């Protein structure tokens, strides 16, 4: 995990008169570490932007952590015996009497696979130079982002961070 301290850098805002530099902590601030947030952050960072992301939970989003991936692992794991019974009906496989299923082992393997995928996402962000803040973003701060006339100041409850651009990737 990247350090949770921010130092101001100079970023040129497209809205600044004559391209005059303005002080911001980051060029882009992304809220949400799902697949869209991770991909956007990495791409912007590899193009030279100073990027930060806020994600209070595990990286990878809904699909990786509680949706598609766990569902597929559970489906494959629980249907294996049924598939083997079908295969043993004339396709050369023989099932023994000792065949059993242990739910706790499947759950442990699913959890380990999700942690592995979370680590891959974290590694990609680290290599791209994206700073990840592992905390929630205050609801009031979202309101300020959208209502503010400047719409360029991103307020974070703690610490206070600024960026001329921000993206929300929320479920």
For the chain, the average pLDDT equals: 77
pLDDT on residue 163 = 81
Mean pLDDT score, 35-58: 94
Q: Which two tokens stand for residue 170?
A: 């929320």
Task: Give me the sign of the Cα torsion angle 27, 32, 34, 36.
Answer: negative
| Of 118 and 79, more confident | 118
Homologous superfamily assigned to 9-168 = FAD/NAD(P)-binding domain (3.50.50.60)
Query: Residue ranges of the domains in the chain?
Result: 9-168
Mean pLDDT score, 54-59: 90
- pLDDT of 93-144, one tens digit each? 777 776 777 889 989 999 999 999 999 999 999 999 999 988 777 655 555 5
- pLDDT of 17-36, one tens digit each? 445 565 788 999 898 999 99
Q: Which two tokens stand for residue 147?
A: 């209502």
């Amino acid at each position: 995990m990247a350090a949770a301290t921010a130092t101001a850098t100079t970023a040129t805002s497209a809205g600044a008169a004559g391209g005059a530099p303005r002080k911001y902590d980051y060029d882009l601030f992304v809220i949400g570490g799902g697949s869209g947030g991770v991909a956007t952050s990495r791409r912007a960072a590899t193009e030279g932007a100073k990027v930060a992301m806020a994600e209070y939970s595990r990286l990878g989003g809904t699909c990786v952590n509680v949706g598609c991936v766990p569902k597929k692992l559970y489906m494959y794991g629980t249907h294996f015996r049924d598939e083997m019974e079908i295969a043993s009906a004339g396709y050369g496989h023989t099932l023994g009497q000792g065949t059993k299923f242990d739910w706790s082992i499947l759950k442990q393997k699913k959890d380990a696979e999700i942690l592995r995928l979370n680590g891959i996402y974290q590694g990609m962000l680290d290599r791209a130079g994206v700073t990840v803040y592992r905390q929630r973003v205050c609801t009031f701060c979202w309101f300020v982002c959208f209502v503010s006339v400047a719409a360029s100041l991103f307020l974070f409850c703690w610490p206070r961070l600024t960026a001329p651009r921000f993206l929300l990737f929320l479920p």
